[in-house]
Amino acid sequence: MIRFERRLEQPRWLNVAVPVGSIVVAFLLSAIVLAITGHAPVHTLRRLLTAAFAGRTQLNNTLVTGTPLLFTGLCAAVAFRMGLFNIGGEGQLYAGAIGGAAAGLLLGNHTGWLSVPAMIVAGGAFGAALALVPGVLKAFFSTNEIITSLMLNYVAALVLDYVIFDSQSYWRDTSPTGKVFPQGKILPGPASWPAAHLGGLVLPFGLLLGIVLAGFLWVLYERTRFGFEVQVIGDSPRAARYAGMRTRRKILAVMAISGAIAGIGGASQDGDFRHVLDPRGLTAAGFGYAGIVVAALARYNPFAVCLIAVLLGGLQNAGYTLQGADFPSGLVGVMQGLILFCALGGELLVRYRVRVSRRSVRGATEASA
Amino acid sequence: MPAVTLRGITKRFPGVVANDGVDFEASEGEVHALLGENGAGKSTLSNILTGLYRPDEGDIELYGERVEFASPRDALDAGIGMVHQHFRLVEPFTVAENVALGDHRAEGRTFLMHPRRIEEHVAELSDRYGLAVDPRARIWQLSLGEQQRVEILKALYREAKILILDEPTAVLTPQEAEDLFATVRGMADEGRTIIFISHKLHEVKAVADRVTVLRRGQTVATVAAADATLRSLAALMVGREIDVNRRRTRTDEPGEAMLELDDVWAMGDRGLPGLRGVTLRVRAGETVGIAGVAGNGQRELAETVTGLRPIERGVVRVAGGALRGGSAREAIRAGVAHVPEDRLGTGVAPGLSIGSNLVLKSHRDGSLASGPLIRLRRIRDRAAALMKLYDIRASGPGVPARQLSGGNLQKVVLAREFSSDPRVLVAASPTRGLDVAAIETVHDYLHRAATDGVAVLLISEDLDEVLALSDRIVVLYEGAVAGEVEAADATPEGIGLLMAGGAGS
């Protein structure tokens, strides 16, 4: 007999042990999948880890993949903490990329350093604006934000496609080559974000910005009246109403912050890495959805998001690098799925404890059977 | 033959022994009361009997046969039903749907639902046992008293032979309680066993055949109700003598009107007017008790005054200033403190710490916040001071409110509400589900608040409590004031008549 009993107290170490354990179990399950598909599990997993974390180039690539996950992870974590399920990080990232690219192109070569902050502001504003749509609907009409924010992801993806492939928009390269192969205008020099170099490691500006944002969010939630009220609303909307808290405003504010963070992630895609508005690359990456995995594994803690984003970034990066005839291309997806599955399953262990007893169940059960 | 026998039941939780070798026995056709203070182990014992917990030690026998329950379903199948203090009902569903929920014997045998047949079955049961309730009504539209009837119907529908009622009268008026007692007796006469959990001595005496008293997780005694006196039961229960509902007298004359309602109308949850032109006044230092059968506008009254429900018509004035209404923030600013009926769901955020809950309303104040930031150290100090002052028992201010017992939870709410120096205090069922010692404490605090010049509006379905604490009693019937009496002239019979709407006729 295995029984789950609700824990009266939740020991702190479980908050670390469960995510770590989840990852370990996910690796074990992936090994089984590998063995079944005829790959040597240990060898394949070792190759995967080597490709992600062993060596400077690999680590730099990992940071490149990890940066957008940091933004989308924070985007999800911020909203989920209030019990507000913003699944729209994907679309908000696209919106931010459009906004960021517009700012970079508009300012051109004229204003020098101003391009970077302008791109951040524009990206954040576009992301926030898109997130406010489900926010307003939720606050004033009590619609389900999961559905509305999810649907807007498709809208944002189509707008992104339209801007480059289906129109002569401001973002599209209209030179003779661009007319044959549709692509975005290359961003001017000042729109390239600086990077910090640290002993051979290249730290993208977006990564540092994301870490600063994580710190800001931590302060916001743990040390401000705003954060206090958001926690009360997240725990018990009725108690919040009773205490005279303005729930609608908080919904709007948290959605705006959440969307702005994803939007800045989009601007970072333009400024840090792609230097062009790149619909194919952005939609193929699926950073927004992976961000939800990051937030769940990090248990919505902003600092843990930083760490998990880099770890999962490493896995994705390794997946891209190793794809080939002898490496199952779906493996990384399978592993990510398993990690999320185990993390959410592990949540059960934080709240409940498992009791195994060997006593047979007699009486009532037998009588009824 | 004993229907239920528990032998040496022990259940431990981290740091607590909730049941420590409890022995208990109830016969067929008996109403057996389980009496004890909160924390005495009554709930744990009933959770063991209903299969929610497994005992660490000890045996359970039903009709002479040893049983072990792996899950609540096993207990249900063995014929044990329970009516919890906090109802287990699905609010958007109808009465009939709730009754049939999870059933796999009667109408629930088949894959397809037959709502009509379930409704008929429920109507028949409610006729037979005098449990008046509309099978098609939705739960959220019902008063707590009616919801309780649904819970009892649920157990009867599943043909429970052993029925556990946890604090059943906490939500009832004296008349409703009388009806319940009649239902309980009727069920016992049919050979069912009723385990009646309570800490109200007079009702235990009124309804039970035998009484088992628990104290600190142990069985103190089992006595025949006929041989026991209220005094002897109280002494067994708390280990000392207490008189709960002694009348508290006012010393000073009340001051100016602090809370005034003038022809106030408000909507109820069913979309019909819940308050129909209520006019009343509470002066500083005065306690006005609101009596009435559950669902006659008490909740609407409390919520309208505290800003949780909009005012449709009429005026609510606090200390002379009219409220716009419908804003809890406005009411709090005007000096209205509120001890809500539903303390775990509304009065606190259960997942947050005691400390956070103590500053739920005051975290914006200058002393606890500077600009947008909150001052954690000061909040912690404030919490520690209040915990000491109000004797809130927990290992520290960081403990989540969810883990507190009912009495301690209510102290958190009271500590927070009183520490805001209110002008008006609205207390809705402030002692519902609390044990004698805790009731006495809460009564002391309410009395002290009035002595300090707060205008207290006490809304309670416990008539003894209203009589003990109020200077004046206003009776609500169908959302309107049915009558108003000075406490000195009030008798339970006279008020009971007003509660039934029998005044004007």
Q: Tell which residue, A123, A97, A10, has the closest CA to residue A287.
A: A97
- B161 lies in the same domain as B109: yes
Asked if residue B86 belongs to a domain, the reply is yes
From residue A92, give the alpha-carbon distance in Å to each of A81, A321, B272. 18, 27, 43
Instruction: State whether residue B372 sits within 8 Å of chain A by CB.
Output: yes
How far apart, in whole angstroms, are the C-alpha atoms of residue A223 and residue A227?
Answer: 7
Q: Are the Cβ atoms of B331 and A244 closer than 8 angstroms?
A: yes
Can you tell me which residue has the tokens 């193929």? A284
B-chain residues within 8 Å CB-CB of A357? 54
In a domain, B343, yes or no: no
Q: Is the pTM of this model over 0.95?
A: no
A contacts of B340 (beta carbons < 8 Å): 242
Calculate helix-pair angle for B436-451, B230-238, nearest 10 degrees: 100
Is B257 part of any domain?
Answer: yes
Tokens of A16: 């670390």
- How far apart (Å, rounded) are the C-alpha atoms in residues B180 and B83? 13
Nearest 5°: CA angle at B346, between B343 and B352?
90
Residue A291: per-residue pLDDT:
94
Nearest to B69 among A226, A235, A364 (CB): A364
Q: Are B289 and B474 in contact (CB under 8 A)?
A: yes
Among the partner residues A223, A224, A243, nearest to B328 by beta-carbon distance: A243
Question: Residue A32 burial (CB < 10 Å; 0-12/13-18/19+)?
Answer: exposed
B193-198 and B162-166 beta bridge pairing: parallel
Q: Which two tokens mark A244?
A: 């005279």
A37 touches chain B (CB under 8 A): no
- pLDDT score, position A364: 38
Chain B, 7 to 36: residues with Cβ < 8 Å from chain A are 13-14
Per CB-CB distance under 8 Å, the chain A contacts of B348 are 236, 239
Same domain, B372 and B297: no
Q: Are residues B315 and B356 in the same domain?
A: no
Size of interface A-B (CB pairs under 8 A): 110
| Nearest-by-CA chain A residue for B302 | A242
Number of domains in chain B: 3
Average pLDDT along chain B:
87
Q: CA separation (Å) from B309 to B115, B292, B303, B313, B476?
A: 34, 20, 5, 12, 18
Residues B78 and B222 placed together within one structural domain of the fold: yes
**Residue A248 DSSP SS3:** helix
CA-nearest residue to A246 within chain B is: B329
Among the candidates B384, B406, B421, a domain finishes at: B421
Residue B48 belongs to a domain:
yes
Sort out which chain A residues have CB atoms less than 8 A from B361's CB and list them. Answer: 243-244
One domain for residues B318 and B171: no
- Tell me which residues of chain A, numbers 227 to 256, contact chain B at a CB-CB cutoff of 8 Å: 228-229, 231-232, 235-236, 238-246
pLDDT in tens, A117-138: 999 999 999 999 999 999 999 9
Nearest CA in chain A to B366: A225
Residue type, B248: R
Which pLDDT belongs to residue A2?
67
Do both B160 and B250 map to the same domain? no
Residue A352 has pLDDT above 90, yes or no: no
Instruction: Say yes or no: B69 and B186 in one domain.
Output: yes
Summarised one tens digit per residue, pLDDT across range A13-69 is: 777 787 788 888 888 998 898 888 888 888 888 888 888 888 899 999 999 999 999
How many other CB atoms are found less than 10 A from the CB of residue B304?
29
Nearest residue of B to residue A231 by CA position? B352
Q: In the block, which residue shows the tokens 């416990």?
A: B462
Taking the C-alpha atoms of residue A266 and residue B444, their distance in angstroms, rounded to an integer, is: 60
Cross-chain residue pair B345–A238, CB shorter than 8 Å: yes
Considering the domain architecture, whether residues B45 and B144 belong to the same structural domain is answered as yes
Cβ of B373: how many Cβ atoms within 10 Å?
13
Domain that holds residue B132: 2-238
Residue of A nearest to B399 (CA): A9
B445 touches chain A (CB under 8 A): no
Residues 400-429 of B with CB under 8 A from A: 403
Cβ-based neighbours of B239, under 8 Å, separated by 6 or more? B215
Instruction: For the sheet with B16-27, list strands across it.
Output: B16-27, B2-13, B57-62, B65-67
Tell me the helices (H) and strands (E) count for chain B, helix number first: 16, 22
Query: In the predicted model, is pLDDT for residue B112 greater than 50?
Result: yes
Residue (of B236, B147, B155, B149) closest to B195 by Cα position = B155
Mean pLDDT of A159-170: 91
Query: Each residue of A247-270: b (16+ CB within 10 Å) or e?
Result: beebbbbbbbbbbbbbbbbbbbbb
Q: Which residue of A has its CA nearest to B51?
A: A364
Query: Is residue B37 within 8 Å of residue B405, measured between CB atoms?
Result: no
pLDDT class of B250 with cuts at 50, 70, 90: low
Query: Which of A42, A91, A17, A29 minimizes the C-alpha distance to A265?
Result: A91
B410 exposed, middle or buried (CB, 10 Å; 0-12, 13-18, 19+)?
A: buried
Q: Which residue of A has its CA nearest to B75?
A: A364
Residues of A in contact with B4 (CB under 8 A): none
**Of B388, B406, B421, the domain-final residue:** B421
Asked if the model's pLDDT at residue A362 lies above 60, the reply is no
Tokens of A21: 């354990």
Residues B268 and B371 both lie in one domain: no
* A368 closest CB neighbour out of B13, B77, B348: B77
Question: Bridge partners of B87?
Answer: none
**CB of B328 less than 8 A from some CB of A:** yes
| Interface mutation vs chain A, best among B44, B66, B67, most A CBs within 10 Å | B67
Q: Give the CATH number, domain containing residue B111.
A: 3.40.50.300
**Contact list, B351 vs chain A (CB under 8 Å):** 235-236
Tell me the C-alpha distance between B284 and B412, whole Å. 24
The Cα of A274 is separated from the nearest Cα of chain B by a number of Å equal to 38
Q: How much is the pLDDT for B478?
A: 86
- B11: region left, alpha or beta (phi > 0 left; psi from -120 to 50 alpha): beta
Contacts of B376 in chain A (CB under 8 A): 223
Q: How far apart are CA B191 and CA B393, in angstroms?
A: 42
Residues B6, B81, single domain; the answer is yes
Domain assignment of residue B342, yes or no: no
CA distance A54 to B148: 65
Nearest-neighbour CA in chain B from A232: distance (Å):
6
Q: At what angle do helices A247-268 and A56-80 cross, to 10 degrees?
A: 160
- Coarse DSSP helix, strand, coil percentages of chain A, rounded to the nearest 5 percent: 75, 5, 20
pLDDT more than 70, % of chain A? 93
Instruction: Indicate yes or no: CB of A243 within 8 angstroms of CB of B360.
Output: yes
The band of B502, judged by pLDDT with boundaries at 50, 70 and 90, is low
Contact check, Cβ <8 Å, A364/B364 = no
Helices B174-189 and B144-157: crossing angle, nearest 10°?
A: 10
Residue of B nearest to A360 (CA): B68
Q: Is A280 on the interface with B (CB under 8 A)?
A: no
**Residue B349 pLDDT level (bands cut at 50, 70, 90):** very high
B174-186 pLDDT, tens digit each = 778 888 999 999 9
Closest residue in A to B338 (Cα) is A242
Taking only the tens place, the pLDDT of each residue in A271-295 is: 999 999 999 999 988 899 999 989 9
Residue B340 included in any domain:
no
Structure tokens at B149: 């009837």
Do residues A362 and B66 lie in contact, with contact meaning Cβ atoms separated by under 8 Å? yes
Distance CA B475, CA B497 (A): 10
The tokens 């006659």 sit on which residue? B296
B75: chain A residues, CB-CB within 8 Å: 364
Q: For A80, phi and psi rounded to 5 degrees?
A: -60, -30
Cβ–Cβ gap A361/B78 under 8 Å: no
Q: A45 — phi, psi (to 5°)?
A: -65, -35
Distance from CA of A239 to the nearest CA of B (A): 4
| Average pLDDT rounded to a whole number, residues A208-232 | 95
Given pLDDT bands bounded at 50, 70 and 90, which one contains residue B42?
A: confident
Flag if A363 and B54 touch (Cβ within 8 Å): no
- Residue B292 and residue B324 in one domain: yes
ipTM: 0.80
Give B165-222 pLDDT, tens digit per residue.
Answer: 988 887 677 778 888 999 999 999 999 999 999 877 788 888 999 999 988 788 989 9
Contact across the interface for A359 and B68, Cβ inside 8 Å: yes
Asked if residue A88 lies in contact with residue A72, where contact means CB atoms within 8 angstroms, the answer is: no
Examine residue B290 and state whether it is found in any structural domain, yes or no. Answer: yes
Which of B145, B40, B43 minimizes the C-alpha distance to B462? B145
Distance between CA A103 and CA B113 in Å, rounded? 60
Which residues does chain A have within 8 Å of residue B332's beta carbon, measured at their own beta carbons? Answer: 243-244
CA of A289: how far to CAs of A284, A333, A358, in Å?
Answer: 11, 12, 42
Q: Which amino acid is at B353?
A: S
Q: What share of chain B is helix, strand, coil (3-state, %, to 5)?
A: 35, 25, 35
Structural domain includes residue B85: yes
Q: How far is CA B389 from CA B384, B394, B418, B450, in A?
A: 9, 13, 11, 18
* Residues A228, B363: C-beta atoms closer than 8 Å: yes
* 8 Å CB contact of A226 and B372: yes
Q: Does A223 touch chain B (CB under 8 A)?
A: yes
Cα(B245)–Cα(A151) distance, rounded to whole angstroms?
Answer: 60
Three-state DSSP class for residue B131: coil
How far is it, in rounded angstroms, from Cα A83 to Cα A10? Answer: 20
From B404, B421, B438, the end of a domain falls on B421
The CB-side HSE value for B286 (13 A sphere, CA atoms) comes to 22
Whether residues B359 and B493 fall in one domain: no
List the single residue in A with minimal CA-CA distance to B78. A364
CB-nearest partner of B350 from A1, A225, A235: A235
Could A363 and B338 be called an inter-chain contact, meaning their C-beta atoms sit closer than 8 Å? no
